[in-house]
Structure 1
Amino acid sequence: MTTTQDISQLYPNALWNWFAQICAIPHPSKYEAKLSAHIQQWAAEKGLPVVVDHVGNLIIRKAATAGMENCKTVVIQAHLDMVPQKNADKQHDFVLDAIEPRIDGEWVKANGTTLGADNGIGMASALAILGADDIPHGPLEVLLTVDEEAGMTGAFGLQAGMLNAEILINTDSEQEGEIYMGCAGGVDAEIRLPLSTENTPSGLRQYTLYISGLKGGHSGVNIHLGRGNANKLLARFLAGHANELGIRISDISGGTLRNAIPREAQCRFLIAPEQVTLLNQRIAQYEQILNSELRQTEPALKVRVEESDTQADKVLSLSAQTRWINLLNACPNGVIRMSDDIPGVTETSLNLGVISIENGHGRALCLIRSLIDTGREQVESMLTSLSDIAGAEISLSGCYPGWKPDTSSPVMKIVKDTYESIYHKEPDIMVIHAGLECGLFKKHYPELDMVSIGPTIRFPHGPDEMVNIKTVGQYWELLLAVLARIPQKTA
């Protein structure tokens, strides 16, 4: 395994040096303060003006290089936070511990955790440009938002009058050779089902059922790949066999984030000793079924059951258990509809991201995404109907708009023409099924001309996250060339 210092020697050095610093400072969502303070101190030492707004966003300004003072002002935008996900056997505290990047052939990965290339590479590129003396550019702003991954707090909180720019370059895309001109909107859905309990019957043995080994990933970018959702796979087994085996559930949990496809889920339950042999048979059969169905997408999938030394005092009542299992099993998940207008792009999706039992309630947290408002509203209606049938309450929150594609965007044409001039091939003009912050910026800055670019990042929001080294250099060259081609302000 290589060390953090090794990545700072990659090309471009200034970008990778900044990314090494970013990895060294813990910065999961809602814990970006240390990284923000580090950047503020650095900017002050460089004599760069910094504004910290009321929600914690950073805006750093840099004057134009000689001869480009009359160019349009550009804001390079990234988010400060990263998704905290790790393998089950990895000891790591995202609030206290540094990310451990390593070079693996053509890729940079992390040691058992998310890497934070989403959006650390974009942030590093913006800071590297601010620190350089040999990069031509017009008047420049860098906007680093907070809490993008857990609710887009920074983008929601950005107020009118904070930015002077006419052009925004978002750096949160994840495929070299693609230029993004639009993105999905979304909304969080939380379902809460009251669960009655009773004393644990005597004579039962306690076990824990584990679904593990799944790839997980970004609930927007990876949702169309057919990966298993651990929460849904757990609910499927329970729906099929809980009554047959006489299972009495004491706890269910799975997933950690509403915007990450769940990689692991578990259920603690009690069962009569005479049913243990049949339980083991059903577990083996179920693992065989899943390995057959998902052998291409989830080759490391595991289904196992372990006996526990401790025993829960309470279990769900049979009626509550049945309603909770049925709700989870019936909850829609994955791609709801593909786009007719943009081939190969998901139009509407749903991720059953987190399930738990808390304070006498079953809790399911979902993220709905859609390129169109009516698609989002359809899924909201589906979940509301399901909740009504189950006797649950549903709350919808954090709704954010999509970024409507603008095919006449001047900056998109600049990026496209620049890409073609460098690489002698056409880039793909795309719409991404993920929640970029661009749609929210339009509220207070409706005339802002926006585009999104980035290097190739695989499996964001999961511990398999990796960024392709070569494409980081290509992204850097494209970004610098675009800055050099920004036109002058119109009279």
Structure 2
Amino acid sequence: MSKVLENLEPKSVFSFFEDLTQIPRCSGNEKKISDYLVEFAKKRSLEVIQDKALNVIIKKPGTKGYENAPTVILQGHMDMVCEKNKDTDHDFSFEPLKLRIEDDMIKATGTTLGADNGIAVAYALAILDSDEIPHPPLEVLITAEEETGMGGANNLDHDNLKGKILINIDSEEEGTLLVSCAGGIRNIISIPIEWDNPSGDLLTYELRIRGLKGGHSGMEINKERGNSNIILGRILQGISINNDLYLAKISGGAKMNAIPRESDATLLVNSKDKTKIEEEIREWNKIIGNELKTADSDFRIEFEQSNGKYEKTFSKETMRKLLVALTLIPNGVQTMSVEIEGLVQSSTNLGVLTTTEESVLLECAIRSSVKTLKLDIVRKMGVLANLIGANSESEGDYPAWEYRKDSYIREVFVDCYKKIYGKGPIITAIHAGLECGLFDEKFDDLDMISLGPNMYDVHTPNEHVSISSTKRVWEYILKVLKSIK
């Protein structure tokens, strides 16, 4: 059976990448992809370690003339964010991704692509598979569960690695070398639900937020894209002021680290207020559409009467508390760096909104390159929760990666870039969590850098990666490896 990417160059990289897209690898479901990597190594008689967290380390000696060169750790993560459009019928637990090529881009149909971070894994496998690429001794580290809290990196036994140089291939802008990243933590506010049994002439309506772009909650938090959970709360707050309505269910977003694109609420509306609420919804559509006309030009509100029957709804007090939380919760850019122009220093993202039988959960991803600012946002979440009689808990704390003044690997990358392009690369920090922060904490004196090809709209069903950029970055990495002796 022919492959969609079989005619692309470099053939080995895109062949391995397409193989990866056929294997289930959502965060928390990495057993099959981890076993695939182990089998890959065994077939090539390479030393391989698979730990309890499903991290995989594959070791390969240096090629002729590189036997005594410093060991280099090539690093990426095996898992992906599994997002799909509402109208896409796809089961990530067993169905392969449906790839397509559009001009210079590779996309998946209706789902995330997993180029974040499948491209890194494909690069590493292509290097390990080759007998012709000159390179120093390699330790390829492919971690698990990066996208949902860096569980693999957190549970990594550093004694299994000897290298002092680490090349992380988990960034998304060609020509940019990352030398520092933000730390982060997850926060969940849980609002207890008191249920009520409303009476009267009530009509059921579905209120839906659609058409937003979403995006990576670190990389794209500064693009002022709409957060569907925040927008839904704003609309509910507005229409509840002068109308008699009840909230039966609310939900939005799928991943804490993705800016939510779609949110839903089920409302019971007094029939006498039907016309007035419909008019207010049309007005909100105009207001928010105008505010987002540049960042999210396809934004729309859907408000439709349904045949659903609900015997119970949130009590008025529970709805009030929820709307207070959605109105006051910190969201978006919180502080900007004064040291690096244009760099977001601290941010939050209300990524997931869920209704259970007992409570409404507001799940946020908090990021900051300054630990005390990160903890201050957590404190604000706690104050808000206390204000409305809710509970606030944090988990998955990971550290920032601080800039290293003297770096051998940075010098090698800069020198190679200048030789290829006649100019230097951009060297900067990123407002996103990289596993480099945890490695910096676990390993003594680890010299690190991060890079990657051009990727767009990661963590969304519109995720795509540039074919030509993937090829150029591949050639760049090979030149760097050849230069380390």
Report what 2:16 is aligned to: 18
Give the Cα separation in 2 of the matches to 1:446 and 1:212.
Answer: 47
Mapped partners of 2:324, 2:333: distance in 1: 20
Report if aligned partners of 2:198, 2:312 keep a CA contact under 8 Å in 1: yes
Q: Deviations over 1:396-446 (max 9, x none)?
A: 111100000113111011111111111112100010111100110122212
Distance 2:265 2:294 in 1: 26
What amino acid is aligned across from residue 377 of structure 1 in structure 2? Answer: L
Give the aligned partner of residue 308 of structure 1. Answer: 306
Distance in 2 between residues matched to 1:27 and 1:398, nearest whole Å: 20
Q: CA deviation at 1:230?
A: 0.1
Which residue number in structure 2 is paired with residue 197 of structure 1? 195
TM-score for both structures, normalised by structure 2: 0.98
SS of equivalent residue, structure 2 residue 352: strand
Q: Give yes or no for contact 2:181–2:401 (8 Å, CA) kept in 1.
A: yes
| Residues 9 and 17 in structure 1, CA contact (< 8 A), matched pair in contact too | no
1:61-210 correspondence to structure 2 within 5 Å = 61-210=59-208
Could you tell me which of 212, 215, 221 is aligned with 1:214? Answer: 212
Preserved CA contact (<8 Å) 2:135 2:481: yes
Measured in 2, the distance between the counterparts of 1:470 and 1:160 equals: 35
Q: Offset at 1:26? A: 1.6
SS at match of 1:21: helix
Q: Is the 8 A contact 2:344 2:431 kept in 1?
A: yes
Query: What is the SS of the residue equivalent to 2:52?
Result: coil
* 1:82-481 to 2 correspondences below 5 Å: 82-481=80-479
Aligned residues: CA RMSD: 1.1
Q: Which amino acid aligns with 1:10?
A: L
Rounded Cα–Cα distance in structure 2 between residues aligned with 1:344 and 1:94: 36
Q: Deviations over 1:297-343 (max 9, x none)?
A: 11111101111212111111111111111111111111001111111
Counterpart of 1:288 in 2: which secondary structure? helix
CA deviation after TM superposition for structure 1 residue 213, in Å: 1.1
Whichever residue aligns with residue 168 of structure 1, its letter is: L
Aligned length: 485
For normalisation by structure 1, the TM-score amounts to 0.97
Contact 1:69 1:139 in 2 (8 A): yes
Equivalent of residue 54 in structure 2, options 53, 56, 62: 56
* Corresponding residue SS for 2:366: strand
Matched residue SS, 1:224: helix
Aligned-partner residue type, residue 344 of structure 2:
T
Q: Percent identity?
A: 39
1:54 to partner: Cα distance: 2.0
4+ residue stretches of structure 1 with deviation over 6 A?
A: none
Please say if residues 181 and 429 of structure 1, whose CA atoms lie closer than 8 Å, have aligned partners that are also in contact.
Answer: yes
Report the residue type matching 1:469 in the other structure: I
| Residue aligned with 2:3, SS | helix
**Cα distance between partner residues in 2 of 1:144 and 1:115:** 18
Per the alignment, in what secondary structure is the counterpart of residue 433 of structure 1? strand
Rounded to whole Å, the distance in 1 between the matches of 2:98 and 2:2 is 6
How far apart are residue 243 of structure 1 and its match?
Answer: 3.0
Name the stretch that deviates more: 146-155 or 239-248: 239-248
Write out per-residue CA displacement over residues 136-188 of structure 1, whole angstroms, 9 at most, x where no aligned residue. Answer: 01111100100000111100001131101111000001000000011000000
Amino acid in structure 1 at the alignment position of 2:408: P
Counterpart CA distance in 2 for 1:34 and 1:161 is: 25
Partner SS for 2:477: helix
Partner of residue 35, structure 1: 33
Distance 2:400 2:6 in 1: 36
In structure 1, distance between residues paired with 2:424 and 2:62: 30
User: Equivalents in 2 of 1:258, 1:239: separation in Å?
Assistant: 23
Distance in 1, matches of 2:350 and 2:102, equals 32
Q: Distance in 1 between matches of 2:87 and 2:194?
A: 34
> Letter of the aligned partner of 2:113 in structure 1?
L
SS of 2:242's equivalent in the other structure is: helix
* CA contact 2:204–2:309 (8 Å) conserved in 1: yes
| Amino acid corresponding to residue 471 of structure 1 in structure 2 | S
Distance in 1 between the 2:169 and 2:449 partners?
9
Where 2:241 maps in the other structure, the secondary structure is helix
Amino acid at match of 1:453: L
Does the residue aligned with 2:4 lie in a helix, a strand or coil? helix
Deviations 1:78-113 (A, max 9, x none): 101000011111111111111112111111111111
**For the residues of structure 2 that align with 1:66 and 1:12, how far apart are their CA atoms?**
23
Q: Partner letter of residue 59 of structure 1?
A: I
Q: For 2:6 and 2:474, locate their aligned partners in 1 and report how far apart those are by CA, in whole Å.
A: 15
**Distance in 2 of aligned mates of 1:364 and 1:377:** 18
Distance 1:78 1:279 in 2: 50
Question: SS at 2:59's partner residue?
Answer: strand
The secondary structure found in structure 2 opposite 1:387 is: helix
Q: Do the aligned residues in 1 keep the contact of 2:200 with 2:270 (CA within 8 Å)?
A: no
The 10-residue stretch of structure 1 (243-252 or 16-25) with the greater mean CA deviation from structure 2: 243-252
State the secondary structure of the residue aligned to 2:323: helix
Gaps of 5+ in 2: none
Instruction: Quote the offset at 1:202 in angstroms.
Output: 3.3
TM-superposed CA distance for 1:4, in Å, is 7.8
**Larger CA deviation: 237-246 vs 78-87:** 237-246
SS at match of 1:306: strand
